[in-house]
Amino acid sequence: MSTDLGVWVAAFFTLAIFSSLYRDNPVYRFAESLLVGVSAGYYLVQYAYSALYKKLWIPVVQDQDWGLLFGGLLGLLVLGRLHRRTEWLARFAIAFYVAAWAGYLIPSAMKAQVLEQIAGTWLSPAGSVPLGAAVNEVLLLVGVISILVYFYFSREHVGALGVASRLGITFLMLGFGASFGYTIMGRITLLIGRFQFLFDRWLGIGPSSGGV
């Protein structure tokens, strides 16, 4: 078995989290609370250093960039939500943030998620792509059109619209299933990694450690 104290601590908290598979218990709640607390403290320090110090304090004090004080003031107003009498001050900062972010995000989102998607459904000239790629393009075009028909509620889905709508449901279910399967694969990969850590680095009986 490992003699490294850090490995033993990591193994303890891994098993503490796994203990919730049996039932809720104080050991699991302690490990969960510690994880949340350490993560919150870590990110608080990271954000304070990268935002307050590097992007506000240094430019203002060293470079005399006084325009950044406006952003610092807005950030300070957000703290007004911590008290009932001053929470109205945070509305100005939140309104400015939402409006500015929407103005920045909407054009880029339209380009990346709408215009690029529309351009991706155009079929290439016949004979310019291999057969497999051509089949993929046709399936993509049919899937996009049928899904759009499914979300078209101005007319009753009967006849050709009904057929296209049911086909759109099929494409949606395939997409949701693939996304769900991808998520499960990611979680299983994390689980395998923790088992490898326990058997190899902690117990020393895994294949990479030369054990049984």
* pLDDT confidence bin for 123, thresholds 50/70/90: low
This prediction has a pTM of 0.64
Q: Return d(Cα 75, Cα 69) in angstroms, integer.
A: 10
Q: Dump pLDDT digits (tens) for 75-115.
A: 889 989 888 888 899 999 999 989 988 888 888 888 887 78
Contacts for 9-14 with beta carbons within 8 Å, 24 or more apart? 10/197, 10/202, 11/197, 11/198, 11/202, 14/194, 14/197, 14/198
C-alpha dist (Å) from residue 23 to 20, 26, 32, 156: 5, 10, 14, 50
C-alpha dist (Å) from residue 172 to 23, 114, 134: 36, 17, 21
Tell me the pLDDT of the chain averaged across its residues.
Answer: 88
**Distant-in-sequence, close-in-space partners of 120: CB < 8 Å, separation ≥ 6:** 140
Q: Return d(Cα 206, Cα 212) in angstroms, integer.
A: 6
Give me the residue label for tokens 């117990």. 203
Q: Return d(Cα 60, Cα 63) in angstroms, integer.
A: 6
- The whole-number pLDDT of residue 31 equals 95
Give percent of the chain above pLDDT 90: 47
For the chain, which residues make up each domain, given as ranges?
1-66, 129-212
Q: Are 60 and 69 in contact, with CB atoms under 8 Å apart? A: yes
CB-side exposure of 36: number of CA atoms within 13 Å?
7
- The whole-number pLDDT of residue 204 equals 87
Q: Dump pLDDT digits (tens) for 150-209.
A: 998 888 888 989 999 999 999 999 999 999 999 999 999 999 999 999 999 899 886 665
